[in-house]
Amino acid sequence: MTIDTLSGITAETITSDRITTRVLFSGPEDGVPVLFLHGNLSSATWWEEVMVTLPAGFRGIAPDQRGFGDAEFSKKINATRGLADFADDALALLDTLGYARAHFVGNSLGGSVVWWVLKSASARVTTATLVAPGSPFGFGGTMDIEGAPCYDDFSGSGAGLSSNPEVVRLVSEGYRGSDNPMSIRMALRTLVYRPPFVPEREEDLLSSALSIHVGEQDWPGDFVPSPNWPHFAPGRWGAANALSTKYAFEMEDFLSIEPKPYILWIRGDEDKAVADGAASDPAVLGALGLIPNYPGPHEYPPQPMIAQTRAVLDKYAQAGGAYEEVVIAETGHVPFIEKLDEFNEIFHGAIQKVG
C-alpha cells in the first residue's frame, strides 16, 4: 500500500513479538504516547489529521491493525478469541516501543478493540477514548441492552454480514468508481460520512479502505449455515467474525477491572454504522425486504447498540469508574474527520486533564 502521509507524520515498519506492520508517528519521540486504533475497512491513515494536531508534548502512534493495510499478511485473525488478537498486538507494540502505558483511542472496530484492552490490561491505559465504538456485546444478533442473543447459534452475526459477492468482487479488483452503488466509495459516502460531506483526502481514505486483506481467513471471512434467520452463523476467521456476539467477553470481566481508567465516549448524532438500528443490521435490512423472510422484531429486533454501550458504561460508573458521553451534532461515524476542531476540543481536554 502506497499512500502519501501528511507533513508531520512519519511511517516506519515495526516488528513486535506478534506482528510486523506499518506504524505512523507524530510528535516528539519523548512525548506522552497516544495509541490510535483504526476501524474496519480503513488503516492508520484515517488518524493522520488527529495525530498532527495533538497538543504539544504528545506522541501519536497509529498501526495498521492485523488484516489491514501493510500489516503482515500471513498473520490472521483468530475470531474464536474475539478481538484478543488485536488487543494483544496493540500491547505488544507498546512493549516494542518501550511504553508501559498510553492513552488509547479507537474508532468503530478500533473502539471495540479498546474494550478488550481495558478488559485484559487496564493498568496500561491512561485514558480510553471510544469514537463511535462497536457495542461491547459485539455486532449483530442481540435483542436487548443486556446483550441477549436472538438465537443460540448467534445467527445474523459474523462474516455473513459482509459476504455480498458484488462488494467482495469490487474490493478485490480495487474498484474506485462511484457509479456502482455497491462500491466502497459509495459505502463510505453514505454510511460512514454524513452526506453530503466528502473528505478533502477522500482518495487517500479510499485507498486505505481498499487495502483490507481479502480471503476466507481475512475479509469477509468464513461463515456457517444456520437454521435460524437470516441463515448464517459466525465462522472462525477474520475481523467480522471476531466482532460476533458469539465471541464477546463476559461483561463481569470488564466491569471488575482495576484500575478503572477514565473513558470518553464520542459519537456523531447521525451515525448510521453504529446506532440503535444500524443501516447494516440484519433486522433493518430484513424490514426493508433486502433479506427475505424476516421473522419480525418480536423474534429478531434491531440491535440497540447505543443503548447497550450506555448501559454498560453506567454499570462501569456504578462500579467505581468514570465516563463521559459526548454527541457531536450533524455528524456521522467519523467525527474526527468530519468535524476535527470540535472533536479535538473534547479529546484534547480529556488527555491533557488525565495525562
Bridging pattern class, strands 262-268 and 223-225? unpaired
Structural element, H or E, at residue 344: helix 340-354
In sequence order, what E strands does 108-206 have?
Answer: 125-131
Q: Name the pLDDT band for 133 (thresholds 50, 70, 90).
A: very high
Question: What range does the domain containing 107 cover?
Answer: 10-354
pLDDT at 163: 77
Give the E-state strand segments of the chain in sequence order.
10-15, 20-26, 32-37, 58-63, 102-107, 125-131, 214-215, 219-220, 223-225, 232-234, 262-268, 323-328
* C-alpha to C-alpha distance for 181 and 167, rounded to whole angstroms: 9
Q: Are 37 and 110 in contact, with CB atoms under 8 Å apart?
A: yes
Determine the pLDDT at residue 117: 98
CA atoms of 340 and 67, how far apart (whole Å)? 27
Asked whether residue 108 is assigned to any structural domain, the reply reads yes
Residue 169 falls inside a structural domain? yes
**Rg for the chain, CA atoms, rounded:** 19
Whole-number mean pLDDT of the chain? 96
Average pLDDT, stretch 267-276? 97
Domain assignment present for residue 310? The answer is yes
Residue 2 lies in a domain: no
198, exposed or middle or buried, with CB in 10 Å at 0-12, 13-18, 19+?
exposed
CATH code (residue 112): 3.40.50.1820
> What does the pLDDT look like over 7-41, one tens digit per residue?
999 999 999 999 999 999 999 999 999 999 999 99
Nine-digit cell at 114?
479498546
The total domain count for the chain is 1
In a domain, 193, yes or no: yes
Q: Give pTM, 2 decimals.
A: 0.97
- Looking at the chain, the whole-number percentage of residues with pLDDT higher than 90 is 97
Predicted local distance difference test score (pLDDT) of residue 250 = 95
